Structure 1
Amino acid sequence: MNEVKVRTMTETEFDSWQLTIAEEFAAEQVTAGRWAADGSVRRALESNSELLPQGLSTPRMLILRGFSADGEPVGRAWIGLDHPRGAPDMAFLYDIEVAEQRRGRGLGRALLEAVEDAVMDAGVHSLELNVFGHNRPAVALYDSAGYAVSTQQM
């Protein structure tokens, strides 16, 4: 079994991450047909800055980097300890990703488990997330980790 440890991102990591995550989120929204491509990255940056008004220091947000047992970077995660729709005692996983060159080795499951542990350590007892249906590897990961579909859009 792979083991992944998480820690809070550094300011330098956070600065780089902000643009990366905005570009990825914008691409997902465009692919899903929710947003037009023109202006999508700007829209994602604005959306994220509303959720993270104090950047890395925004209270009740965990912005994490994952590392393997050998200290190599594995991936990242962004969790809100307060659910965006107000569900009590439920965190929300905004983003989780294993570095592309590290995929296919069981590190996604290990990173997810480390995130779940960080949420529990913060005193929150459940975690919700959204995943696009076309992201088959992510759907399979969450299914194998015991997550259940609560809503589905088509």
Structure 2
Amino acid sequence: MTEVHVRSMSPDEFDRWQTDLAVSYARSHVEAGNWPAEEALDRAREANAALLPQGMATPGMIFLVGALPDGAPVGHLWIGLTHPKGLAGCAYLYDIEVLPERRGQGLGRALLAVGEEAARQRGAAALELNVFGDNAPAVGLYRTSGYRVSTQQMRKDLRG
């Protein structure tokens, strides 16, 4: 596996990431049929603000940037040490992303592994995440990294 190191996100990186995250999260919800496009970005921003009332200083949140040994950036992770549903000992992976130009090189698996280790070092016994069903590359990565389906939502469009 490719070696990836992580470091804490800087405040400037956090600000850029928050903007990009809201756009990406909104798009995912629109594509999944959860939110209307005209409301999606506002809803994404509100959802993130609710999870991060103190921004980067919100307790129990880890914001990491992944890099190769030579310092070249790979991607980022956002992990909450407290599960949103209160599951004891279970951290929650809110976001992981490999930079588009770095995808397909095994770096997602390496980034996920260092994120798991960061959560483990902070006392987590498990790590849970949500993945949109149409994100086949991510589903495959998680499945082959030892994640199992714990809940599943399904939808059928009845309009036509």
Paired AA for residue 13 in structure 1:
E
Paired position in structure 2 for 1:125: 125
Structure number, greater radius of gyration: 2
User: Distance in 2 between the 1:42 and 1:63 partners?
Assistant: 22
User: Distance in 1 between the 2:131 and 2:22 partners?
Assistant: 16
User: Distance in 2 between the 1:104 and 1:42 partners?
Assistant: 32
Q: For residue 47 of structure 1, report the CA deviation from its aligned partner.
A: 1.0
Within the alignment, does 1:104 sit opposite 2:107 as a pair? Answer: no
Q: For residue 5 of structure 1, report the CA deviation from its aligned partner.
A: 1.0
Unaligned runs of 5+ in 2: 155-160
TM-score by length of structure 1 reads: 0.98
SS at match of 2:85: coil
Paired AA for residue 78 in structure 2:
W
Instruction: Output the aligned Cα RMSD.
Output: 0.7
SS at match of 1:34: coil
> Percent identity at matched positions?
55
User: Distance in 2 between the 1:42 and 1:8 partners?
Assistant: 27
Paired position in structure 1 for 2:157: none
Paired position in structure 2 for 1:10: 10
Paired AA for residue 23 in structure 2:
E
Q: Trace 1:53-92 onto structure 2 (pairs within 5 A).
A: 53-92=53-92
User: Distance in 2 between the 1:94 and 1:44 partners?
Assistant: 13
For residues 110-150 of structure 1, the C-alpha deviation after alignment (integer angstroms, 9 at most, x for no partner) is 00000001001111111000111110000110011011011
For residues 56-94 of structure 1, the C-alpha deviation after alignment (integer angstroms, 9 at most, x for no partner) is 111100111111112110001111100000000000111
Unaligned runs of 5+ in 1: none
Paired AA for residue 26 in structure 1:
A
Paired position in structure 1 for 2:138: 138
Q: For residue 106 of structure 1, report the CA deviation from its aligned partner.
A: 0.5
Query: Runs (4+) of structure 1 moved beyond 3 Å?
Result: none
Paired AA for residue 115 in structure 2:
V
Within the alignment, does 1:49 sit opposite 2:49 as a pair? Answer: yes
